[in-house]
Amino acid sequence: MQQAAVDPAVMRRAWLVLVVVSLASFQTAMSLSIIFVVYADLKESFPHASEAELSWVINSFTIVGAATLVICGVLGERWGRRRTLMAGIAVFTLASAGAALAPSTGALIVARALQGFGTSLSLPMGAAIVIEAFPVARRGTGVGAWSANGAVAAAMGPSVGALLVHVGDWRWAFWLNVPFGVIALAFIGKVIQEHRNPQTPELPDRLGALMVLAGVGGVVFALVQSREWSWADPVVLAALIGGPLVLVLLAWRSMRHRLPVIDPRLFQFKSFRLGNYGMLVFSIAFFGHQLVGVNYLTIVWELTIFEAGMLLTPVFVFTGLLSALSGRWADRWGPARFVVAGSLMWTGGMVWQWATLGGEEDLVAWVLSVTLAGIGSGLVWGSLFAVMVADLPSDFLASGSSVAQTMMRVGNAFGVAIAVTVIGATLAVGQVGNLGTSYIMLAAGGAVTAVLGVRCTQPRGMPAPALK
């Protein structure tokens, strides 16, 4: 299928915008992967903190982000995309400094929550600015390249984090964000033009945002505390029942609210709907694997944090290399086949790791399996984002991108919480404990995403529904 010609000047401008926005998003993307490597060092710095308590260092970031992304997307349309992007970077940078100085796990968790809020301000605006800059015929390429930037940053996270811990400690992983933030703010002010929605959109359902926070937080709390307090604990039971119930009420409220926090009209689009389901499921598997892998390498195999970081890097490296290509391929041949192929490769990598689990080191099997999984995840991420934005009208790009990022963050939080619950305190030197169950979960996530990918293609001759 031949692509339509576009003005070279438009493309040059689009690539310049992409480079500047990518510089801004680099620090936030790296923080998604670097935290899993420094997590092991956190346990040494705070020896009295439980596994469940430490997991909130990861999950406070993702849960707050999931609850605030959509509202921040609308705020950006009111305040201006450039202004909001810069505000988000400033908040994230200051919160990073606060995390680096944190004297306790409580202070660190609060700083991570503020990082999540800062990312909520910057991510949807960055996505909307990039998507709007690229012509429709090249939109998949632009989205794929933007995703690739995040993947490259994430690819550097494990190795950079391992190096920082090796020469210093976990605090340097947060100090690293400060110069990135300062440089990004300087370039954005010069390159990115301001854009506001002339209709000045109203803020969506604020109670709905709190319901996202309460619902997702309740489920995660029940999962991570269940091993310490038991499933029969009244607080755990209340969170386990109340969390999903709040999310069901949120769906009901969103169908009736004039300005819902998650616009149900977006889900009229089959590609957007299935792509988001895939994003949720695959995020659970992808981010769950990072915590499982760190624990396996540092506890079962007794590797150093530096060695573990190096061995986790291939997943992110191949994800970065393939994300941009999969977005471009999606422009040419449609994304469904790459979602399916990538998901099956991820599943194969997880099954391979499950089949070779053991207390004895098997570096060849590990490297080959994570390489296969990394190639698969690269195909999935770029193609899923291309699926979700393919049919959205321009006015809904920011909100649609926010929903997609929300799904990824919810999946991140669920994946970490499930991993903490499944592996719990069962790991010991040379003992794999419940890792087999963990890998079955990780493989199943890829398989479900593959099934959703099969259904992602809009049947020919069926027009996409109009948003009214």
Mean pLDDT of the chain: 83
Comparing 55-59, 137-141, 461-465, the range with the smallest average pLDDT is: 461-465
Q: What is the pLDDT of residue 148?
A: 66
**431, β-bridge pairs:** 428
- Is residue 462 over pLDDT 50? no
More reliable by pLDDT, 4 or 78: 78
CB 248 within 8 A of CB 301: no
- Is residue 126 over pLDDT 90? no
Exposed, middle or buried: residue 11 (CB in 10 Å: 0-12, 13-18, 19+)? Answer: middle
Average pLDDT over residues 3-30: 76
pLDDT in tens, 274-314: 889 999 999 999 989 988 888 888 888 888 888 988 898 88
**428, β-bridge pairs:** 431
- Is residue 150 over pLDDT 90? no
Q: What is the pLDDT of residue 244?
A: 93
Quote the pTM value. Answer: 0.81
Q: How far is CA 468 from CA 32, 264, 265, 337, in A?
A: 36, 11, 8, 31
Distance, CA of 118 to CA of 233 (rounded, Å): 35
- Is residue 463 over pLDDT 50? no
DSSP code of residue 136: G
Q: What is the pLDDT of residue 17?
A: 82
- Is residue 22 over pLDDT 90? no
CB 124 within 8 A of CB 385: no
In degrees and rounded to multiples of 5, residue 146 shows phi and psi of: -65, -40
Average pLDDT over residues 194-212: 77
Query: What is the Cα 311 distance to its own chain's centre?
Result: 20
Integer Rg of the chain from CA: 21
CB 370 within 8 A of CB 314: yes
Four-CA torsion 144, 145, 148, 149, nearest 10 degrees: -140
Comparing 91-105, 390-404, 450-464, the range with the smallest average pLDDT is: 450-464
3-state DSSP helix/strand/coil percent for the chain, to nearest 5? 80, 0, 20
Average pLDDT over residues 390-416: 78
Four-CA torsion 381, 386, 23, 152, nearest 10 degrees: 20
More reliable by pLDDT, 232 or 428: 232
Average pLDDT over residues 188-211: 77
Q: What is the pLDDT of residue 1?
A: 43
How sure is the predictor about 448, in pLDDT bands with cuts at 50, 70 and 90?
A: very high
Q: What is the pLDDT of residue 98?
A: 96
Q: What is the pLDDT of residue 2?
A: 47
Distance, CA of 131 to CA of 385 (rounded, Å): 11
Distance, CA of 440 to CA of 448 (rounded, Å): 12
Q: What is the pLDDT of residue 321?
A: 75
pLDDT in tens, 24-38: 778 887 887 788 888
Q: What is the pLDDT of residue 43?
A: 81
How sure is the predictor about 54, in pLDDT bands with cuts at 50, 70 and 90?
A: confident
- Is residue 410 over pLDDT 80? yes
pLDDT in tens, 420-431: 888 765 555 556
CB 129 within 8 A of CB 356: no
- Is residue 363 over pLDDT 80? yes
Q: What is the pLDDT of residue 5?
A: 61
Average pLDDT over residues 399-414: 81
How sure is the predictor about 459, in pLDDT bands with cuts at 50, 70 and 90?
A: very low
Comparing 48-52, 239-243, 432-436, the range with the smallest average pLDDT is: 432-436
Q: What is the pLDDT of residue 235?
A: 92
- Is residue 144 over pLDDT 50? yes
How sure is the predictor about 102, in pLDDT bands with cuts at 50, 70 and 90?
A: very high
Structure tokens at 112: 């991570």
In this structure, which long-range contacts are made by residues 319-322, counting pairs with CB atoms below 8 Å and at least 24 apart in sequence?
A: 319/151, 319/154, 319/155, 319/374, 319/377, 319/378, 319/381, 320/148, 320/151, 320/152, 320/153, 320/154, 320/155, 320/378, 321/148, 321/151, 321/378, 322/374, 322/375, 322/377, 322/378, 322/379, 322/382
CB 278 within 8 A of CB 339: yes
Please give the single-letter amino acid code of residue 215: G
Distance, CA of 250 to CA of 273 (rounded, Å): 17
Comparing 135-139, 155-159, 318-322, 432-436, the range with the smallest average pLDDT is: 135-139
How sure is the predictor about 206, in pLDDT bands with cuts at 50, 70 and 90?
A: confident
Structure tokens at 429: 């030197």
